[in-house]
Structure 1
Amino acid sequence: MGLLPLNYRRPDYVSDDAFGRNDSIAQSEEKVAESLSSGRSGAPLGIPDALAFDKIINSGTCPPCTVRDFMNYLIYIEHAAENLQFFLWYRDYVKRFDAAPESETVLSPEWTPTMEEEAVAQIQKDAADKARKNPSAIMEIFKGTDFEKTPESNVENRNPFSTPPRSSGGDNASFSGSPATTYISQPGDVLHAAGVKAPFTIQPFRMEINRVITTYIVDDSPRQLNLSAREQKAVVRALSYTTHPSALHTIFQNIENTLRRQAHPNFIRWVICNGNPARVTFARGLGVGSILVALIGSIILTLSQAGRGWRALFAILWVFGIATLITAVKGMCVVLHGLHHRHVRPWELFVDDNSTDIDELCNGKRSFDSFGSSNSYEDEPWVIKYQRRFYVRRVFDREVWIQEPALRQIQDTIFLQSMLMAFLGAGVLTAIFVAVPAGNFF
């Protein structure tokens, strides 16, 4: 594959504030539809078609850009794997529901936008009535809106190989007070808390939908989605009426929008880095050190009686130092890039080579199981082992070949950009020192 344009820029980091999760559903659907029609991921500039969101989800990419790598990124870096887990489950559920006999699916009518609007209006009316009767409960109205802000940690500033504690899965909603295990054994309690009647148990996939509620919707559930109180109540009302996929359409659109426009660009930005933090820090130090040596040497020769031509020899160090520093700032090591290698992730380091379950090796659980355990990983053996690993050993951690051609193309382009900037900077600095008259001090 050839290089990308020389004005290429890797994807910008998309923070929660910049993303604007509360876009309307119409806006989200329009952006997703535009993405699908163009065949691109809908992400910002910097993501080639070969690494588009749909390509990754449909297993059209190679390591380290596969859907499994995307899942591990969401588990260990963004701590939002429940979004992708729900997304994959819903796509499969739609296919299975459509393939079910019509004699069964007729029992689950479609949840229409009009019904959605009526449910939301009723929820808002109930909240307003409750606030009038109990003024101290007025803050319940603002749960899940821009008026209820909680500090968010910046994923961009996180160490790509660090293991920070997992954050909460969502904001407080209306079903608090009971652990998720209670809901699993008694799903009717969830519906009662939402003020709706128990659904018909003869509807198709009713047991599976109950598991969805107790796994992704209610408070303290193993994989609680980041839903506001209003969204939570609305989806429970919809699911109490029908098991039709349209009942989950609203939150699915929000989650898909988050994955496409925030998680996916951030994943591509992160995966471009080929070295772990220890190696990148070492590369930065090497780049700065080379620049300082070239600077000090040029100054000494300028002040001496040595000929001007000797000062031009430091252009080699200028080029090496500037190129190494620029690539390190972008998370890359020039030595690893020259081999088209990357460092193995910490969760991939300490695995049993005799095991056949790669997913279980990487994150200690079946992360692609739609109804598995929570995505917490603090008790996995590799966490302590990696923390005890010596710094120098981390610098020279195990390396693997980068199989994805599009990723190598991006890294080649960044390296070429760095070299061009290094040659330009070295040329300017060398010209300046060569032009200065000799000091003849010694």
Structure 2
Amino acid sequence: MGFLPLSYRRPGYVEKEQFQRSNSFLTENEGSNASLKSGSSKNSNGIPDALTFDRVMSGGTCPPCTIRDFMNYLLYVEHAAENLQFFLWYRDYVERFNDADTSDINLSPEWTQAMEDETAAKIQKDAIDKLRKGPKTTITIFKGTDFEKGVADVTVVEKRNPFSTPPPTPSVNDASSFLSGPQVSGYRTHIQDAFSAAGTTQPFTIQPFRAEINRIITTYIMTDSPRQLNLSSRQQKLAVQALAYTTHPSALRSVARAVEDTLRRQAHPNFTRWSVCNGNRPRVHFARALGAGILGLSTAGAVVMVLSSAEREWRALFALGWVLGIATLGAACRGLCVVLHGLHRRHVRPWELFDASTSVAPPPASSPSSSSEEGSELEEGRRKSASTSLDSFGSSNSYEDEPWVVRYERRNIVRKVFDREVWIQEPALRQIQDAIFVQSVLAGLLSAGVLTAVFVSVPAGGFF
């Protein structure tokens, strides 16, 4: 593995709003869809080939850049774990559907692109018709806009209850009939409301995987679902109507494409940028303060020497402080603690810290068995923290009630600064950190040279 160039820059942070605005200008066929087919990413500058999205998804990376770490980042930092959860389920569902060798598989025909375009046009036309039949004030508001022309995506907010239409009578073979007790009525009403809101009827359940598809609708697609995806009203209706027709994976083509586009071009670059930071927030703030302190003290000492009658050569001694201060401050501004980097270690994440066993003190850093023991212990902690988030049909992605949240908040600031550390196993990540460290040191040397030349050239004040 070669070295990264000195001009390397880690991935820039992609704001959700910025990504959504830029993504709205891309057509499905010419923009994001093309990037997905090629495996490229427009916001992936600064991501080495060893840390690409496809590499992470295929399990070709080491901690802290694995798919499990990616899920934890989306859950605890980005608060968008539902995208990866749906992506993993859909990828697995496509494989299972294609491998299915049953007689009823032909009951789920493919949802073609022509059918999708026709349904989307019908949804848009119905929305415009409802708008025109609505109150005159509503028409006046949107007069002369793209909404009136039928160009933009239409989201109709009706005054009446969208679920007021009487739901169709469920089939005897409905998947909810396999439930027992009070769950039956609630589940039937929930899934019926989803199809009614989309303007279609609940299908028969003789198609393969129908029960699983119904759970996907109530978990990810319909409004107020526990893991609701960020879909427009048009996308929701289009997906539900497609799933009412077939359980073929192509029915979720547009949803899967939008989710994967978000993961590739927004979530994954942010995850890579976040993984570069080897210290927690208190440690990074401490490193910044330390670098600024060293830089300030060195500058103050040089000023005192200039005002004194000491020889000019003594002022050059402060160059060492300038190098250390600027290098430490520059690296900390990019989330890197130079002390931890020198050991190629990182702080343990809060959700990993309390999942791993803490009853036995960790071995010394110099111990040959330190990395392997810590790695296995932390891997167990990662499994525990991601066990529920990797479940495709779990509850909502809320972690406020998890025990580690309160325990970590009670931890004093000194313990957070000097929290437990673990070896960084991913070589590509260490390579990125090496590049940032070298850049910071070179910036320190260059700045210290300039400061030294300035202070040495100033005549002595001779005040004392």
Moved more, 11-20 or 406-415: 11-20
Letter in 2 for 1:407: L
Secondary structure, in 3 states, of the residue corresponding to 1:421?
Answer: helix
2:23 corresponds to 1:21:
yes
| Map of 2:406 onto structure 1 | 384
Secondary structure, in 3 states, of the residue corresponding to 1:400?
Answer: strand
Shift of 1:281: 0.6
Give the one of 223, 230, 237 matched to 1:219: 223
| Map of 1:130 onto structure 2 | 130
| Map of 2:178 onto structure 1 | none
- For residues 215 and 434 of structure 1, the distance between their equivalents in structure 2, rounded to whole angstroms, comes to 69
Shift of 1:360: 5.7
Q: Gaps (5+ residues) in structure 1?
A: 149-172
2:432 corresponds to 1:410:
yes
| Map of 1:436 onto structure 2 | 458
- For residues 261 and 242 of structure 2, the distance between their equivalents in structure 1, rounded to whole angstroms, comes to 21
- For residues 410 and 12 of structure 2, the distance between their equivalents in structure 1, rounded to whole angstroms, comes to 33
Q: Is the contact between residue 127 and residue 154 of structure 2 (CA under 8 Å) also seen in structure 1?
A: no
- For residues 28 and 79 of structure 1, the distance between their equivalents in structure 2, rounded to whole angstroms, comes to 23
- For residues 195 and 154 of structure 2, the distance between their equivalents in structure 1, rounded to whole angstroms, comes to 27
2:297 corresponds to 1:293:
yes
| Map of 1:167 onto structure 2 | none
Letter in 2 for 1:236: V
- For residues 258 and 242 of structure 2, the distance between their equivalents in structure 1, rounded to whole angstroms, comes to 16
- For residues 335 and 205 of structure 1, the distance between their equivalents in structure 2, rounded to whole angstroms, comes to 53
Q: Is the contact between residue 163 and residue 193 of structure 2 (CA under 8 Å) also seen in structure 1?
A: no
Q: Deviations over 1:135-174 (max 9, x none)?
A: 37779979xx7999xxxxxxxxxxxxxxxxxxxxxxxx97
Q: 1:183 to 1:61 in 2, by over 3 A?
A: farther
2:121 corresponds to 1:99:
no
Q: Is the contact between residue 25 and residue 254 of structure 1 (CA under 8 Å) also seen in structure 2?
A: no
Secondary structure, in 3 states, of the residue corresponding to 1:204?
Answer: coil
Q: Is the contact between residue 105 and residue 208 of structure 2 (CA under 8 Å) also seen in structure 1?
A: yes
Q: Is the contact between residue 311 and residue 430 of structure 1 (CA under 8 Å) also seen in structure 2?
A: yes
Moved more, 19-28 or 384-393: 19-28
Q: Deviations over 1:11-53 (max 9, x none)?
A: 0111123322333221211111222xxxx55542100000010
Shift of 1:100: 1.0
- For residues 146 and 407 of structure 1, the distance between their equivalents in structure 2, rounded to whole angstroms, comes to 41
How is 1:31-70 mapped onto 2 (pairs within 5 angstroms)?
Answer: 31-35=35-39, 43-70=43-70
Letter in 1 for 2:333: V
Shift of 1:267: 0.4
Q: 1:66 to 1:288 in 2, by over 3 A?
A: same
| Map of 2:417 onto structure 1 | 395
Matched pairs, number: 410
Letter in 1 for 2:27: S
Shift of 1:303: 1.2
Q: Deviations over 1:168-189 (max 9, x none)?
A: xxxxx97799xx9977444233
| Map of 1:80 onto structure 2 | 80
Shift of 1:254: 0.7
Alpha-carbon RMSD across the aligned residues, in angstroms, is 2.6
Q: Deviations over 1:55-112 (max 9, x none)?
A: 1011100000000000000001111100000001001101111111263221111111
Letter in 1 for 2:23: R
2:441 corresponds to 1:419:
yes
Letter in 1 for 2:134: N
Shift of 1:352: 4.8
Q: Is the contact between residue 43 and residue 264 of structure 1 (CA under 8 Å) also seen in structure 2?
A: no
Q: Deviations over 1:337-372 (max 9, x none)?
A: 000011111111112529996456325x51111111
| Map of 1:361 onto structure 2 | 384
Question: TM-score under structure 1 normalisation?
Answer: 0.87
Q: Is the contact between residue 291 and residue 318 of structure 1 (CA under 8 Å) also seen in structure 2?
A: yes
| Map of 2:393 onto structure 1 | 371
Q: Is the contact between residue 194 and residue 237 of structure 1 (CA under 8 Å) also seen in structure 2?
A: yes
Q: Is the contact between residue 41 and residue 54 of structure 1 (CA under 8 Å) also seen in structure 2?
A: no
Q: Gaps (5+ residues) in structure 2?
A: 156-160, 166-182, 359-376
Q: 1:409 to 1:397 in 2, by over 3 A?
A: same
2:225 corresponds to 1:203:
no
- For residues 164 and 454 of structure 2, the distance between their equivalents in structure 1, rounded to whole angstroms, comes to 68
| Map of 1:350 onto structure 2 | 354
Q: Is the contact between residue 174 and residue 232 of structure 1 (CA under 8 Å) also seen in structure 2?
A: no
Shift of 1:123: 1.1
What percent of counterpart residues are identical? 60
Q: Is the contact between residue 287 and residue 320 of structure 1 (CA under 8 Å) also seen in structure 2?
A: yes
- For residues 390 and 245 of structure 2, the distance between their equivalents in structure 1, rounded to whole angstroms, comes to 28
Q: 1:305 to 1:114 in 2, by over 3 A?
A: same
Shift of 1:118: 1.4
Question: TM-score under structure 2 normalisation?
Answer: 0.83
Structure with bigger gyration radius: 2
Q: Deviations over 1:353-396 (max 9, x none)?
A: 29996456325x51111111111000001111111111111100
Q: 1:385 to 1:410 in 2, by over 3 A?
A: same
Letter in 2 for 1:124: Q
